[in-house]
Amino acid sequence: MSEPTYRDEARGYLIGFGFALVLTLIPFALVIWGDLGPAMTLGALGVCALAQLVVQLRYFLHIDLSRQKREDLQLILFSSLLLIMMAGGTIWIIGNLGMRM
């Protein structure tokens, strides 16, 4: 596979920036002008957050599902799992201690 040119890289960054900007403005618009109700607004915010994560990984960190990038993706997923376990365990312990007080 050939090395991407400056024009290709700049195009990719601009596409990613456009997606990131739209996925940032949609939640702001939903919160400011939205009449969806709290549950639908929260769900839409979650969907936009997940889409934003995918855009950041794909366009700015250059993580995709190709064979050579799979190790980087596994490293990110494992680190995320450890952080979720540590944060979740901390919240669980603090909540349990709070109930016992």
pLDDT averaged per 10 residues in sequence order, the chain, 101 residues: 81 94 94 88 94 92 80 88 96 94 87
The model's pTM is 0.73
Sequence spans of domains, the chain:
1-62, 66-101
Q: What is the DSSP letter of 19?
A: H
Residue 2 has what pLDDT? 67
**Which of 27, 66, 60 minimizes the C-alpha distance to 44?**
27
Could you write out the DSSP letters of every residue in 30-77? HHHH--S-HHHHHHHHHHHHHHHHHHIIIIIS---SSGGGHHHHHHHH
